[in-house]
Amino acid sequence: MFLNTFSISEKTVRTALKKKMPSGTVETEKRGGRQDHLQEEDKQRRDKIKAHIDRFPRMESHYCRSKSTRDYLHSDLNQKKMYEMFLAECCVPEGLSASYTTYCDVLKSQNISFHNPKKDQCKICENFRKGDSEKKKELMCMYEQHNKEKYAVRKIKEQAKNNTESNVQVAVFDLQQVIYLPKSNDNQLFYKRRLSNYNFTIYELKSKNCHCYTWHEGQGKRGSSEIATCVRTYLENLNTAGIHEVILFADGCPGQNKNSIIATMLLHSVQNLGNIKRIKLLYFEAYHGQSEGDSAHSAISTAIERVGDLLVPSQLIPVFRLARRKNPYSVHTLQHSDFQDYKTLANHLRIRSVREDDQGHDVVWLDMREVMVQKTDRDKLFFKTSHQQESYRSITLKRKWLSALDCNMPSKLYSKPPKISKEKYDDLMSLCKAPLPMVRVAEYVSFFESLPHSS
């Protein structure tokens, strides 16, 4: 247990014990620099390990960390598994053995992580916790504000959940971690770039109904317009059901959710969907989302784990649906032609060029904690920069650009399906051909073959 906890070899411990001095510390290294041929061997070994690590494709990082320089490997991988795979194919045949410690050392130097990036630490909390008393003093104000906001939005959510008016709908939305297909237990798959599948869930807090909007990268990316389209599709259903007011909660990380494109979609929706009179979108503090949708995501992940091999996206639909037996999730698949271009609409409205709000303050999109639109104010976007704020600030759009809201539907985002990379296409093909293909069913093979790709 000791060895496993520290991920060290028995030899490391034995050597340390042998060199233990009466004082309890380990005697210092007596050897001089390493001999040249040893150094050369060491370099070769490390290069070999690095080459092995490079064979693993990097995963798409979650939008929280789009600017991160860290690379992420598939979360099903770990150091031990990689080392075993390394031994199985790299070392033994060529006789250049490397210890687990060396392997881990090289891995560490590559700035790679297996962590689910979404579960990464909040920087504000982390800096505060790690800081000395001087630093803590400096950060105190920001940290306290962060905590207040964190609890304030949760409280608002709890209140909204208890709302009993039948024409008010309350929901949280979030994008699940990317699901890569084909999926199987074969370790070889870890070396392959695979097709990214997206699942955007909207979880209704009052009814506990959950809607999954799913597509794969051969139909759309996972940008703001794609997310906006999912929310819009949902709003259309609510409109048909006669809902008047919608209160939404979402992850506060800038990226897909927190931007002018989503706000534009809300503005367009409230003006074009007859029954809906008001829509609010509240953001959780970044990294402190408290979303019921997470339960749907973990139920789906578990269901995917249990089901065994999954090869093509269409196989995901029944798995998503039945991830919750009681009250199954509703699954909606999206095609490239479904996605609407809210970015162009935002440009037409000149929403991004508004620098100052009606109260004369600077407009900083990243600072917004709530966005609100209502039918009676066609030219206004209301917002709050704190959940503790009583009243809204507002942005008034110039009347001459407002006609952009008149078109019933924004233009299409894609005129044809987006392309996947050539490398990924080749990897997918290698799974369909090869001496022992993983994908054998003709229908599935032709699905992968027909994916548009760059050449």
In the complex, the residues that contact Zn ion under the rule CB under 5 A are 122, 124-125
For residue 324, count CB atoms less than 10 angstroms from its CB and return exposed for 0-12, middle for 13-18, buried for 19 or more: middle
* Least distance between Zn ion and beta carbon 143 (Å): 8
Cβ 449 to Zn ion shortest distance, Å = 46
Shortest approach of Zn ion to residue 146 CB, angstroms? Answer: 5
Q: How far is the CB of 251 from Zn ion (least distance, A)?
A: 13
Q: Give every CB contact of residue 336 below 8 A, 6+ residues apart in sequence.
A: 219, 220, 413, 414, 416, 417, 418
Using CB atoms, what's the residue nearest to Zn ion? 122
| Residue closer to Zn ion (CB basis): 122 or 156 | 122
C-beta of residue 69 within 8 angstroms of C-beta of residue 111: yes
User: Shortest distance, CB of residue 150 to Zn ion, whole angstroms?
Assistant: 7
Q: Which CB, 125 or 319, lies closer to Zn ion?
A: 125
Decide whether 286 or 431 has the Cβ nearer to Zn ion. 286
150: helix, coil or strand? helix
The span from the first CA to the last CA of the chain, in angstroms, equals 51
If the CB atoms of residues 186 and 367 are measured against Zn ion, the closer one turns out to be 367
Q: In the complex, what is the shortest distance from the CB of residue 288 to Zn ion, in angstroms, rounded to a whole number?
A: 6
Q: How far apart are CA 246 and CA 239, in angstroms?
A: 10
Nearer to Zn ion, 125 or 168 (CB): 125
Residue where the block lists tokens 């007859």: 274
Decide whether 129 or 208 has the Cβ nearer to Zn ion: 129
Task: Tell me the closest approach of the beta carbon of residue 417 to Zn ion, in angstroms.
Answer: 39
| 351-357 LR contacts (CB < 8 Å, sep 24+) | 351/260, 351/263, 351/264, 351/381, 351/395, 351/397, 352/260, 354/395, 354/397, 357/383, 357/393, 357/394, 357/395
Return left, alpha or beta for 327; rule: phi > 0 is left, psi -120 to 50 is alpha, else beta: left
Q: State the helix-helix crossing angle for 422-432 and 442-449, rounded to 10 degrees.
A: 160
Looking at the Cβ atoms of 115 and 440, the one nearer to Zn ion is 115
Give start and end residues of each alpha helix (H) in 7-132. Answer: 10-18, 36-54, 79-86, 92-94, 100-109, 123-130
